[in-house]
Amino acid sequence: MLTRVLFALALICGTAAAASAEETKVLALGLADREVTQEELEKGSAQPAPRFNSPAIAYVLAANLKQGDTVEITLVNGDTPLLHSTETLAEDRPSHLLQAGKRGVPAGGWPEGTYQAKLTITRDGKPLIEQTSTPIPFE
């Protein structure tokens, strides 16, 4: 009888631990013509695409990050990284927004090409998530 009770307790505790340890995931990744807010991204609002003569901001909203995770977002033209932002988290975060880009427009506009946001989330020195957004040509 005691064995059955201990087995049942182990199952219950194991199930509760698995439910509370949620997987790190990307909620939103992309480009916008301005800085975005976490609320906009959580609502699923469509973000206006950057143009050659507008600001360009790469953004990521990630969930279930752990203390020590490093989040890096990069604005990329083709294979060339242009601007990036990196943050190592000091505490566990249920969600985290990180952005990189330029609030203004470079002199003469953005160079021709296809732009995208490139994300890397690193945990314990190893890449946990590597993802890129859909490429967008700046018109």
- Give pLDDT tens digits for 85-105: 999 999 999 999 999 999 899
Average pLDDT, stretch 13-40? 79
Instruction: For domain 23-137, give its CATH number from 3.40.50.150, 2.40.50.100, 2.60.40.10, 3.40.50.1000.
Output: 2.60.40.10
Domain map (residue ranges) of the chain: 23-137
Classify burial at 52, counting beta carbons within 10 Å of its beta carbon; exposed 0-12, middle 13-18, buried 19 or more.
middle
Residue 138 structure tokens = 């700046």
109 vs 2, residue with greater confidence: 109
Q: Outline where 21-133 has alpha helix (H).
A: 38-43
pLDDT digits (tens, 9 = 90+) for 49-59: 999 999 999 99
**Torsion sign over Cα 10, 12, 17, 18:** positive
Tokens matching residue 20? 């509370």
pLDDT of residue 111: 92
C-beta of residue 70 within 8 angstroms of C-beta of residue 87:
yes
* pLDDT score of 21: 55
> What confidence tier does 3 reach under pLDDT thresholds 50, 70, 90?
very low
Q: 109 Cβ partners below 8 Å, 6+ apart?
A: 52, 53, 138
